[in-house]
């Protein structure tokens, strides 16, 4: 089923226009066809009742029940040198149910803040497409970039994924009573020793993804996926 973000809602009908209408036309969605509509954190099954070059109207048939994760996960991800790789991280974080994503500037990450800020709109579009693919109804909050040295442990559990330090295996984490988790993932090549020590001194818990050393995008995907699964989200 194709899923779209409408421009507006009037009564029991949604109006699709602009870029979303272009997507609908490219997919050759026909009048009478069923589509999904994401509106105000809810997913609706709708029928296309009108379509032209300016807009499409979709009539609500039913609300589809969706599940919002009980765990609030914030991913602090070092910005990869290849910025295209960061798009993959945005996509996977959205699909897996992360609540927030913070681009992180470290010694070995991409460091040009002004370029990162210009990429924010692109990353938000990538996230919206991932919402459609996964049926997620709530947006991933992509925050402005942060410096590693400014990080503070603000969640119930604050994790540093670091395979170069003797930390706990990720599968041993107990998350049954935890409502929020922050996960810090480094760049290709990992954190510098001083960076890891700084975060641990702040209260971040070192956790390992055993047994292999993973690429940054793989580590983020696997780490977030395991934590959400352990939390039952």
pLDDT, tens digit, 9 for 90 and up, residues 177-209: 899 999 999 998 889 999 999 999 999 999 998
Cα(171)–Cα(3) distance, integer angstroms:
34
pLDDT, tens digit, 9 for 90 and up, residues 25-46: 999 999 999 999 999 999 999 9
pLDDT value at residue 164: 75
Q: How many domains does the chain have?
A: 2
> Which residue segment(s) compose the domain that 135 sits in?
72-230
Cα(231)–Cα(181) distance, integer angstroms:
10
| Dihedral over alpha carbons 154, 178, 223, 208 (to 10 degrees) | 80
Cβ atoms of 43 and 37 within 8 Å: the answer is yes
pLDDT value at residue 211: 74
Together in a domain, 102 and 76: yes
pLDDT value at residue 209: 87
Together in a domain, 50 and 77: no
CATH number, domain of 157, equals: 3.40.1280.10
pLDDT value at residue 119: 98
What is the pTM for the complete model shown? 0.91
CATH number, domain of 46, equals: 2.40.240.20
| Per-residue pLDDT at 212 exceeds 90 | no
User: In DSSP terms, which residues pair with 103 in a beta bridge?
Assistant: 77
Q: How much of the chain exceeds pLDDT 90, in percent?
A: 87
Together in a domain, 115 and 10: no
Together in a domain, 9 and 49: yes
Together in a domain, 111 and 167: yes
């Amino acid at each position: 089923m194709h899923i779209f973000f409408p421009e507006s809602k009037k009564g029991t009908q949604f109006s699709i226009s602009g870029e979303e209408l272009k997507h609908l036309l490219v997919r050759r969605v026909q009048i009478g066809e069923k589509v999904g509509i994401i509106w105000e954190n809810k997913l609706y099954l709708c029928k296309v009742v009108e379509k032209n070059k300016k807009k499409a109207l979709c009539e609500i048939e039913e609300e589809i029940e969706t599940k919002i994760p009980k765990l609030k996960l914030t991913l602090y991800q070092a910005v990869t040198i290849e910025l295209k790789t960061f798009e993959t991280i945005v996509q996977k974080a959205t699909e897996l149910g992360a609540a927030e994503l913070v681009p992180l500037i470290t010694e070995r990450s991409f460091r040009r803040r002004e370029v990162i800020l210009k990429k924010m709109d692109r990353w938000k579009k990538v996230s919206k497409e991932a919402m459609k693919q996964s049926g997620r109804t709530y947006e991933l909050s992509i925050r402005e970039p942060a410096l590693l040295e400014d990080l503070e442990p603000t969640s119930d559990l604050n994790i540093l994924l670091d395979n170069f330090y003797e930390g706990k295996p990720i599968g041993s984490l107990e998350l049954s009573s935890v409502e929020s988790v922050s996960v810090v993932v480094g760049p290709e090549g990992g954190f510098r020793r001083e960076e890891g020590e700084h975060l641990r001194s702040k209260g971040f818990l070192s956790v390992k993804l055993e047994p292999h050393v993973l690429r940054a995008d793989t580590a983020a995907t696997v780490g977030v996926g395991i934590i959400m699964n352990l939390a039952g989200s």
